[in-house]
């Protein structure tokens, strides 16, 4: 099990850090610690899957979600990445989201989803709303 | 003889009556006899909500330009993530579920399982006349409310096909938005927003 602080850093990390690139503390940890590296690679794998699913064939989808927006969406890069990672973490039984001590806990922090289909949970700016996207097998 | 039997019966009943009064004095008595008995046995029971109001908004994505104020908050968040051209409210369904407590048996005494269940469903037609069935199987376990939500196609060609299916925990006043791209010939996506409100 990963330390809570490391999990939080992983959630907020850029993909390059998850790949162990650069000189940040987290990148060094990814290079050094096999457990952290495994978790980072799981997250990277999930991000790639989500990336593929969201840019799946279909004119509406390609128009709906251009590649540059996915991680740089209106300055929400961290938020969206965190949302994606949150989804991946929620999908994984071994990793828990860090608890939120604030009075208004976002719904995504407590949301538990089960589905026969693969899914992603997106955090939103509205703490009362969470978005769960269900993927079909061919979207993977 | 009759007096002796009466005395014996009174002696047997007395402790129960006395303990029942004690419970009442502590303000722990519940409105039903089952509750009284369970309280007497010091079994804690977490009451499920008396009613759970579920509001389903089925939203069709893409190709629509009008904004519907009823789904404005959800659409605002969808627009931050996806770039479908527009979102249209296909239907609204409000269903009330009253979870019923489940009891197990132990020596003839009903024992609460701290579990309550309810099931609601409705057949509904969108503005194009396409029929759907929206359903939710609700379970309340130790106070946690969970719903298995299903949206099915109810058209003659694809009757029973699950368009959206997921199990989520519900929080009163919050909205879980379940979305999926269409798998039939139509483009765009179907999005089912589920808002729950618990009445104590």
* Residues of chain B neighbouring A50 (CB-CB closer than 8 A): none
For residues B15 and B60, membership in a common domain is answered with: no
B146-161 average pLDDT score: 92
Which residue among B77, B84, B168 sits closest to A124, beta carbon to beta carbon?
B77
Residues B155, B72 share a domain = yes
Tell whether A112 lies on the interface with B, counting CB pairs under 8 A. yes
pLDDT at B57: 96
Query: CA A106 to CA A87: how far, in whole Å?
Result: 14
Q: A130, B164: Cβ pair inside 8 Å?
A: no
Count other C-beta atoms under 10 Å from residue B47's C-beta.
15
Q: Which of A53, A75, A107 to mutate to test the interface with B (most CBs of B within 10 A)?
A: A107
Same domain, B34 and B103: no
pLDDT in tens, A37-95: 888 887 777 677 666 555 544 333 333 333 322 332 222 333 344 444 444 444 443 33
Percent of chain B with pLDDT over 90: 44
Q: Which domain holds residue B11?
A: 2-40
Residue B102 falls within a domain, yes or no?
yes
Q: Strand (E) positions, chain B? A: 51-61, 87-97, 100-106, 109-125, 131-141, 144-153, 162-169, 175-181, 189-199
Closest CA in chain B for residue A110: B169
Residue A104 is predicted with a pLDDT of 66
Residues B152, B74 within the same domain: yes
Distance CA B53, CA A77 (A): 36
Question: How many structural domains compose chain A?
Answer: 1
Give A71 or B47, the one with higher predicted confidence.
B47
Kindly give the residue spans of alpha helices, DSSP state H, lying in B26-145.
33-40, 72-81
Statement to judge: residues B17 and B80 lie in one domain: no
Beta-carbon separation of B168 and A132 below 8 A: yes
- By CB atoms closer than 10 A (0-12, 13-18, 19+), residue B130 is middle
Do B168 and B70 share a domain, yes or no? yes
Same domain membership, residue B189 and residue B93: yes
ipTM for the predicted complex: 0.74
Q: Which of B164, B147, B194, B149 is nearest to A134 (CA)?
A: B164
Q: Is residue B45 part of a domain?
A: no
Q: Are residues B153 and B83 in the same domain?
A: yes
Are B59 and B81 in a shared domain? yes
Give the residue numbers spanning the domain of A32: 4-139
Comparing A60 with B185, which gets the higher pLDDT? B185
Q: What integer pLDDT is reported at residue B178 of this predicted model?
A: 96
The answer to whether position B124 is within a domain reads yes
The answer on B143 and B97 residing in a single domain is yes
Backbone phi, psi, residue B141, to 5°: -120, 120
Whether B36 and B57 map to the same domain: the answer is: no
Count of structural domains, chain B: 2
Tell me the count of A-B CB pairs closer than 8 A. 101
CA pair distance B180, B190, nearest whole angstrom: 6
Average pLDDT in the B167-195 region? 87
Same domain, B104 and B159: yes
State whether residue A134 sits within 8 Å of chain B by CB: yes
Region B41-51 average pLDDT: 69
Domain-embedded: residue B168:
yes
* A126–B165 CB contact, under 8 Å: no
Burial pattern A94-125, b for ≥16 Cβ within 10 A else e, equals: ebebeeeeeeeebbbbebebebebbbbbbbbe
Q: Is B46 domain-assigned?
A: no
């Amino acid at each position: 099990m990963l330390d809570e602080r490391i999990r939080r850093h992983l959630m907020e990390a850029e993909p390059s850090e998850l790949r162990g690139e650069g000189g940040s503390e987290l990148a060094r940890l990814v290079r050094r610690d096999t457990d952290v590296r495994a978790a980072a690679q799981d997250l990277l794998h999930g991000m790639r899957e989500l990336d593929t699913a969201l840019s799946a064939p279909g004119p509406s989808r390609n128009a709906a979600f251009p590649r540059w927006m996915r991680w740089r969406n209106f300055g929400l890069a961290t938020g969206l990445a965190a949302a994606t990672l949150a989804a991946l973490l929620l999908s994984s039984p071994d990793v828990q989201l860090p608890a939120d001590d604030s009075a208004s806990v976002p719904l995504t922090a407590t949301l538990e989803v089960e589905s026969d289909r693969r899914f992603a949970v997106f955090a939103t700016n509205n703490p009362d709303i969470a978005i769960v996207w269900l993927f079909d097998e061919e979207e993977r | 003889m009759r007096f002796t039997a009466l005395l014996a019966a009174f002696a047997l009943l007395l402790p129960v009556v006395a303990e029942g009064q004690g419970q009442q004095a502590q303000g722990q008595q519940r409105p039903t006899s089952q509750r009284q008995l369970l309280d007497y046995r010091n079994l804690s029971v977490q009451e499920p909500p008396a009613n759970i109001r579920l509001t389903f908004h089925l939203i069709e994505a893409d190709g629509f330009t009008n904004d519907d104020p009823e789904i404005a908050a959800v659409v605002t968040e969808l627009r931050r993530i996806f770039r479908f051209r527009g979102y249209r409210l296909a239907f609204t369904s409000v269903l009330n579920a009253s979870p019923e407590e489940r009891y197990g048996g132990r020596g003839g005494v009903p024992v609460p399982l701290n579990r309550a269940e309810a099931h609601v469903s409705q057949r509904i037609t969108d503005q194009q006349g396409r029929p759907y069935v929206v359903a939710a199987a609700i379970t309340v376990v130790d106070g946690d409310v969970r719903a298995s939500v299903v949206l099915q196609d109810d058209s003659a060609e694809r009757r029973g096909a699950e368009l959206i299916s997921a199990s989520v925990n519900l929080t009163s006043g919050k909205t879980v938005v379940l979305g999926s791209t269409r798998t039939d010939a139509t483009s765009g996506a179907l999005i089912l927003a589920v808002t729950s409100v618990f009445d104590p």
